[in-house]
Amino acid sequence: MAATESLETDEPEKGSKPAGRRSSTTRYVVGRVVKAFLTIYVVATAIFFLVRLLPGNPVDVYINQQIAQYGMSYQEAANAAAGLFSFDPNESKFMQYLHYLGGLVQGDLGTSLLSPGSSVTSQIGAYLPWTLFSVGIALIISFVLGIGIGMAMAYRRGGIFDHAMTLVASITHSIPNFLLAMMIIVFFGVQLEWLPIATMRGAYSPGVHPEFSLYFLSDAFYHAALPMFVYVLTSLGGWMLVMKSSTVETLGEDYVTVARARGLTDRRIQVQYVGRNAMLPLFTSFVLSLGFVVGGSILVEQVTQYQGIGFLLYEAVQRRDYPVLQGILLIVTISVVLANLVADLLYSRVDPRIRITSKEG
């Protein structure tokens, strides 16, 4: 009989043995970790073959140019391309796949086709921190603001503040982030010239070197201000609406009524009874959002010319740089899978009503 693990929301069984609980927890954790690695393997394989279905690549373009301009034979042009790009165009897809998997096991994501000698890992390492910096801070700001405003909307539901904030949240949440970025640049940057968009490009100013100093941090915030503002504005509405709905539902629970009957202060009820329980549904969404930090910045960074991992991914797609494209998509996959894994493992800790059981069936 196969053993399955699951999360259940019923009350703990009285008299159950601690050793049995630990065993169930261990099996659940191991099962989730194995599923996470299997998911990464399947997606990594899909990425490898899907990327190669894209029409054209820089190696083919180079070979065709050599044949057309210098009258080389295909083999001569192919040999020249192999030396320039450190890439064998005659290698079968299966052998490329094996080399790809072998490199992944060793942590080697390959070498950029268009930047010979530059590893994909080093390129990702140069761009990824700026995306984590801008999107990560924006996510925390929008989450904290959304929690506070959403609770205020729930306590003032039906009033002017609730209606006004609901309208604002619905509008900002429905606008795609890249479209909002374009609108800000066109109206406030080009038409009104309030934003110095020319000097805000890039992750930091030319001549400034990354270091832990107030001058560099202020410069980094200056360049990240526009994408951060866009991320906050487009994600804040979602947190507000979800928190309002969850708070309204929590306010109707019996334990809140009992707390009021006991004469507890409104402040204590808001923080310890309503706010804490209303935030539980948002916990999973927040952790999952951390996984999408890497992949949620592609168009915004391209529009604002902020040189994060989204900017690098767009350039890799445009130039058919397969190794870089594969490496970034794999990083996105890993971050999302790990976010799901962390959310699953932590949710039982955050919500005491959740427990892990093992069923024989």
Of the candidates 186, 135, 59, 185, the one whose C-alpha atom is nearest the C-alpha of residue 311 is: 135
**Is pLDDT of 6 > 50?**
no
Determine the Cα angle at 324 with ends 320 and 328, to 5°: 120
Burial 70-97 (b: 16+ CB within 10 A, else e): eebeeeebbbebbeebebebeeeeeebe
CA distance 205 to 354: 49
Share of the chain above pLDDT 90, in %: 20
Residue of higher predicted confidence among 90 and 266: 266
CA distance 74 to 189: 50
**pLDDT band for position 10 (50/70/90)?**
very low
Q: What is the pLDDT of residue 152?
A: 92
**pLDDT band for position 356 (50/70/90)?**
low
Q: What confidence tens digit (pLDDT) does each residue in 295-321 have?
A: 667 788 888 889 888 888 888 888 778
Q: What is the pLDDT of residue 85?
A: 60
Q: What is the pLDDT of residue 271?
A: 81
Q: What confidence tens digit (pLDDT) does each residue in 188-225 have?
A: 988 888 888 888 888 888 888 888 888 899 999 999 99
CA distance 311 to 298: 6
Share of the chain above pLDDT 70, in %: 84
- Of 46-55, 84-93, 245-254, give the lowest mean pLDDT range: 84-93
Q: What is the pLDDT of residue 354?
A: 61
Name beta bridge partners: 4. Answer: 359
- What does the chain come to in residues? 361
**Is pLDDT of 349 > 90?**
no
Of the candidates 93, 59, 12, the one whose C-alpha atom is nearest the C-alpha of residue 320 is: 59
CA distance 156 to 165: 11
Residue of higher predicted confidence among 293 and 332: 332
Tokens of 159: 């009033």
Average pLDDT over residues 350-361: 54
Residue of higher predicted confidence among 3 and 137: 137
Q: What confidence tens digit (pLDDT) does each residue in 184-196 have?
A: 999 998 888 888 8
Are 274 and 247 a contacting pair, CB within 8 Å? yes
Q: What is the pLDDT of residue 1?
A: 38
**Is pLDDT of 14 > 60?**
no
CA distance 177 to 34: 35
Average pLDDT over residues 46-56: 76
Q: What is the pLDDT of residue 75?
A: 75
Q: What confidence tens digit (pLDDT) does each residue in 266-290 have?
A: 888 888 888 888 888 787 788 778 7
Q: What is the pLDDT of residue 116?
A: 67
Between the CA atoms of 231, 237, 241 and 242, what dihedral angle is there, to the nearest 10 degrees? 0
Residue of higher predicted confidence among 143 and 106: 143
**Is pLDDT of 4 > 60?**
no
Q: What is the pLDDT of residue 263?
A: 83
Instruction: Kindly list the distances between the CA atom of residue 255 and the CA atoms of 8, 250, 281, in Å, as whole numbers in the listed order.
Output: 21, 9, 18
Calculate the average pLDDT of the chain: 81
CA distance 344 to 316: 33
Most distant CA pair in the chain, distance: 91
Q: Which helix (H) or strand (E) holds 257?
A: helix 254-261
Average pLDDT over residues 90-107: 81
Q: Which helix (H) or strand (E) holds 90?
A: none
Q: What is the 3-state secondary structure (H, E, C) of 265-284?
A: CHHHHHHHHHHHHHCHHHHH
Residue of higher predicted confidence among 52 and 130: 130
**pLDDT band for position 342 (50/70/90)?**
confident
**pLDDT band for position 20 (50/70/90)?**
low
Average pLDDT over residues 135-162: 92
Burial (Cβ within 10 Å: 0-12, 13-18, ≥19) of residue 322: buried
